[in-house]
Amino acid sequence: MKIIIHHHALVFQSKGKLFLPSFIGAWIDAIAPKVDKVGLLLSTCDEHYPHLDYELQAENIEFHPLGNTVAKRMQSGKKEIEQNIQSASEGYDHLLIRGMTPRQFIVYKNSKAESCSFLLVGSLIDSKPKLSFNFISLFIWFRHYQKQLQLKRIAKKSQVYANSPHIVSELNSVLGIQSSFVPTNTLSNSQFSEFKPLKKHGPYTMVFCGRVVQDKGVEELIEALFLLRAKGHDVNLKVVGKASEAYQKHLDGLISLKHLDEHIKFEGFVKFGPDLMSHYKQSDLFVLPTWHEGFPHSIWEAAACSLPIFVTSVGGIPGILNEDLVTFCAIRNAEDIAARVVNALTDLTNTNIRTQNMLEFSQGFSVEECASKLLANIVR
């Protein structure tokens, strides 16, 4: 089988090497050995940005530029993009589009591949925008409903997949689209560690890994740390991920106000691989109090390093996980986060049982396993 993959991610090309985000790059490298050829239909960029942290390794990959960006802004016109799609997709058995944006719909319409499928990785309900009566809000609402209409059109002639059973249910209930569950991951089988129980005494380090934005629950996590330390628990926080300059300034003010400067460390963006995994391995607890989500790969990364996982039950997360595997926290509720962490530190026996269950469960969702499940759906 010859498969061509499109995603809205950018790729940097240098001396025959391709660099792209790890969440898509590792997945492509896992797919490549299982097919005859992989085509990549991605937009090029003029700079090797830090988040382009993965170098593709597979040898049966052919890169097809969709268009060219400068400072992350598309320079290629619509007609050029359409011609690039038609030329690139000729001769491929299958087009796989991961995610959904207006440009990806253009790829779908102009593809010459024999068949097509979409893999969605975000919740329809949780991503529904708030309505405000201004131009920007109305435009966002227009795009939201445009996406839904495009998905309905696509589903009539293409296969649709989602990376959580919860999103599969949403597609059916919200749009009447029949889809299949196909998980995604970044971690290879070799990156899972042996089980390591939580230590009996502090200090403990909580780690957060992801985009440092308000709706990831970062402020609730800082408040939870304040509550934990106020109750005498020797807990610190490590934040892996980059915030905007303005939001970092806001967080610094909040941290200073609560006298937590010595107990929170911001690591910034960390490249996927040994450096990133070492941050998990040097921590004791993983906390992700996100407001909405598809299914974040950081959960698998934390599980692979035997970290007890505290996460909100939103988006695609409860469709895969349950409380035998992780601890669910109330959304936007610092007091509940703190209380759940205290319970985990107090009852180490049950905490370690849950963590070991999660480690064993997650090994069935390695990037190799996810690639096999995807291709099994495509060729059936």
pLDDT tens digits for range 286-345: 999 999 888 899 999 999 999 999 999 998 899 899 999 999 999 999 999 999 999 999
Which pLDDT value is given to residue 127? 66
CA–CA dist 290, 149 (Å, integer): 27
Which pLDDT score, from 0 to 100, does residue 121 have? 85
Give the angle subtended at the CA of 88 by the CAs of 82 and 90, to the nearest 5°: 105
The percent of the chain in helix, strand and coil, each rounded to the nearest 5, is 40, 20, 35
Burial class (CB in 10 A: 0-12, 13-18, 19+), 216: buried
Cβ distance 289 to 330 under 8 Å? no
The CA distances from residue 256 to 117, 190, 223, 244, 290, in Å, are 49, 41, 12, 18, 23
Under a CB-based contact definition with an 8 Å cutoff, are residues 98 and 122 in contact? Answer: no
8 A C-beta contact, residue 316 and residue 164 = yes
If phi > 0 it is left, if psi is from -120 to 50 it is alpha, else beta; for residue 321 that is beta
Give the Cα separation of 264 and 281 in Å (integer). Answer: 17
Residue range 189-364 forms a domain whose CATH class is alpha beta
Quote the DSSP letter at residue 275. H
Residue boundaries of the structural domains of the chain: 2-188+366-379, 189-364
SS3 assignment, position 70:
strand
Q: Which two tokens stand for residue 353?
A: 């049982």
CB burial of residue 132 (10 Å; 0-12, 13-18, 19+): exposed
d(C-alpha 113, C-alpha 38), whole Å: 13
The count of residues in the chain is 380
Give the Cα separation of 92 and 38 in Å (integer): 9
CA distance 247 to 249: 5
CATH fold label, 2-188+366-379: Rossmann fold (3.40.50)
The reply to whether domains 2-188+366-379 and 189-364 share a CATH topology is yes
What phi, psi does 170 have (nearest 5°)?
A: -60, -45
Which residues, at least 6 apart from 313, have a Cβ–Cβ distance to it below 8 Å? 328, 331
What is the per-residue pLDDT for 146? 83
Task: For residues 373 and 42, give the distance between their C-alpha atoms in angstroms, rounded to a whole number.
Answer: 23
Angle CA 225–230–235, to nearest 5: 45
Amino acid in the structure at residue 153:
R
Q: Are 185 and 163 in contact (CB under 8 A)?
A: no
Taking the C-alpha atoms of residue 19 and residue 11, their distance in angstroms, rounded to an integer, is 6
Q: What is the pLDDT of residue 126?
A: 66
Task: Return the pLDDT at 192.
Answer: 95
Query: CB under 8 Å to 14, separation ≥6 — which residues?
Result: 48
pTM of this structure: 0.88
Peptide bond into 203 cis (omega under 30): yes
The pLDDT value recorded for residue 379 is 80
CB 16 within 8 A of CB 36: no
Q: pLDDT means per 10 residues in the chain (380 residues)?
A: 96 95 95 97 94 95 96 92 97 93 89 95 72 76 83 91 90 92 93 95 96 96 98 97 96 97 96 94 97 90 98 91 97 98 97 98 95 91
